[in-house]
Chain A
Amino acid sequence: MEPRTRHFFRSAEKALADHALQVALSRTTAKFLENRAAAVAGYPGFEGARERASRIRQEALDNLDAHLARFLTEARKAGAVVHAARDGREAREIAVGIARDEGVSLAVKGKSMVAEEVGLNGALEAAGIEVVETDLGEYIVQLAGESPSHIIAPAIHKTREEVSRLFEEKLGEPYAEEIGELTRIVRRRLREQFLSAQMGISGANFLCADTGSVVLVTNEGNGRMATTLPRVHLVIAGIDKVIPRLADLPVLLRLIPRSATGQSLSSYVTILTGTRRPGDAEGPEKLHIILLDNGRTGILQGKYREILKCVRCGACLNICPVFQSVGGHAYGWVYPGPLGSVLAPLLLGLPESSPLPDASTLCGACAEVCPVKIPLPEMLVELRADGRAQGLKPPAEVLGMKAYAAMMSRGGILEAFQRIAGVVSQLLFKDGRVRWLPFGLSGWTERRDLPAPAPQPFRKLWKKQRGIRPWKR
């Protein structure tokens, strides 16, 4: 997916003007938030669980090499073939190679953000392999020729009315706005694909180092079908997905559904260890696992390491007032919201995505809901500082900041400016309101007034009131 992260401003403007998008966003995020609040309220141990989960993820990262090595050994012991991919290109080549070797012409795919990150579908399709998305939201997005706009609710940008029209147009199905009916349509159509596909593709929520297991947390059952019915199962996962022990799962599984959708438990939790064993009723004969680095080792060594604790629950997206207002596509790449505003600059480079860290009021709501306590606002501010250090700031901003710092260097200088502003204010803004500001500040006054500077600043009035002489402070 070609990043459009640089164009956040324009994309956000478009999103704000898109009425259908606004309806879709407000419906779904409100529901997620309401459910999450109820789920958290109903689980008194939530805060303690966050603390434990955060420590588990930190422990995994602190010793990632060892945990990865252990995972590799255990997964191989259980019959998996494990591949390491340094970047997206390598991951695509490995995946295409596997599909060719296994004689795959049709693959069914469960949700995977890492697959989006490396552009897996495009590569497979270019090699003549048909890939069918089986997550309902992903199916919709694929049918529409779009990309997911949310990490757990890929079609969150679409209203059910739009989906009905899409099904009518692309599938020739009768218009049916009811979500149950829309789901039945997709289920019926996917059934054949599940049964005829030679390969299933999935991501991973976690990789357990001590057992070599791949863990999937899903709601629709498609993940289980895609990973057990076809002869070959291909897993693609970031190296950050490793957790030390299978026993770490319970606390993470309590947090993820509550944080993501507000469920106390997801409909399915699938723990896949190795290939089909003699006597197993189902399961793949071949299991390939691609472990993707794609810049993660670099992140691990730097000051943003904690972002790799992320469990991709999407809570920070749902709670973010900016995400709620513009949706995921405006962010211009695979990972949107506060998570994306940190991760995209780290994976794509800050010059490519410098508007993203600025796309936040630093309200802190994301950090408050993050189940693994990632300090997202601090990271956003840190990235802004990196932007200054790398010379990515507009010269006007830097100049303005220098002037402002000079003005604030002494109380007397500030007071001089305040008194000039006071005089100007009395001349121009008689009713105490500024209705128009020039240049870079015009955005403020487009739909808002600015209070006029007071005729005399507090410091002046205070001196007068308390009889403080200028030379006796």
Chain B
Amino acid sequence: MVERKRVPASLFSTCLADTFFPNVCFATVAVLERFGVDLRVPLSQTCCGQPAFNTGNRKEARKMAAKFLTVFRGEEYIVTPSGSCANMVKHEYPVLFRDEPNLLTLAHRVGERVFELSQFLVEILGVTDPGSPYRGKVTYHDSCHLKRGLGVAEAPRTLLRAIPGVEFVEMEESDRCCGFGGVFSVRYPHLSCRMADRKIERILETGAQVVTSGDIGCLMNIGGTISRTGYPVRAVHIAEILAGSEGGSP
């Protein structure tokens, strides 16, 4: 590998990956370190506050957001394996702190440094080949917040296509919502499952062995439905595919 200057970055692990999918975090670490990132994991981080914000519980969301801003107030890049969490910090913190000028400034400063993993690899590190030994037929689900929130759709595809062992296939309606929606999935479970059903239909049509995405929430929803029904496909986080270390996904 070409000698490069080590890029300092902090891992924004997300509370969901931290609690449910440690392997996704380790895979993220592995990929970033493979490309010379000097990665730090701030252990005082908790949750970005998205569930509270999305349900309109702003008082609680503000508390968590303020905490996040304190933890990540440095100068380094902030990288996360979850599009919606990155979108929360980048686009919703300014809404939360619109009446608090100091925190608003900080929110903008922190927000500028937040990147989703695939986006960071491609846009900042200029990675074209992730160097993954992963093998399999893979299709990709666009997380709503990654695609429409952060505008990231090409980066993950570029990386997946560059893996020699991966046969990449597009599904129809790849950017149609899987029905997760955080609290929505619990408040309107039947609606949520109906949307997940359609997503899984689209996945199965491709004949892929694996569906991947850059969002923990989507993968919990899609993976949880697959796990219950026993469809012949697995939901695997893109970090694990890029690392070539699939193991602990739903």
Contacts and interface: CB of A to CB of B under 8 A. Distances in A.
Interface of A: 9, 12-13, 16, 321-322, 325-326, 357-365, 367-368, 378, 381-388, 393, 397-398, 401-402, 404-405, 407-411, 414, 418, 421, 433, 435, 440-441, 443-444, 446-454, 456-459, 461-463, 468, 473
A441 B186 contact: yes
Interface of B: 13, 15, 17-22, 25-26, 29, 41-47, 49, 51-60, 63-64, 67, 92, 95, 144-145, 148-149, 175-177, 179-182, 184-196, 198, 220-221, 223-225, 227-228, 248, 250
B223 A451 contact: yes
Nearest to A452: B20
A451 B220 contact: yes
25 contacts: A16-B194, A325-B194, A326-B191, A361-B181, A363-B148, A364-B144, A381-B54, A385-B58, A388-B58, A401-B51, A402-B60, A407-B46, A408-B46, A409-B67, A411-B46, A418-B18, A441-B186, A443-B186, A443-B189, A448-B196, A450-B224, A451-B220, A457-B19, A461-B22, A473-B43
Given A12-B188, A16-B190, A388-B57, A458 B17 contact: yes
B19 A454 contact: yes
Contacts of A462: 25-26, 29, 41, 43
A463 B18 contact: no
Contact of B220 (A362, A382, A383, A450): A450
A455 to B, nearest CB: 9
A459 B67 contact: no
A309 to B, nearest CB: 20
Given A411-B46, A462-B25, A449 B51 contact: no
Contacts of A447: 189, 193, 225, 228
Contacts of B47: 404, 408, 414
B18 A458 contact: yes
A459 B71 CA distance: 15
Nearest to B28: A458
A458 B25 contact: yes
A453 B18 CA distance: 9
B56 A385 contact: yes
Q: Nearest 8 CB-CB pairs, A to B? A: A384-B56, A361-B181, A443-B189, A363-B177, A405-B60, A448-B224, A458-B22, A364-B148
Task: Pick the most buried of B47, B56, B220, B223: most chain A CB atoms within 10 A of its CB.
Answer: B56
A332 to B, nearest CB: 15
Contacts of A441: 186
A454 B191 contact: no
A405 B56 contact: no
Contacts of B189: 443-444, 446-447
Contacts of A381: 53-54, 56, 92, 95
A363 B57 CA distance: 19
A359 B179 CA distance: 11
Nearest to A412: B44
A435 B179 CA distance: 19
Given A411-B45, A448-B227, A449-B228, 5 more contacts: A12-B190, A364-B148, A393-B57, A447-B228, A450-B224
A449 B191 contact: no
A355 to B, nearest CB: 9
A458 B28 CA distance: 12
Contacts of A360: 181, 184
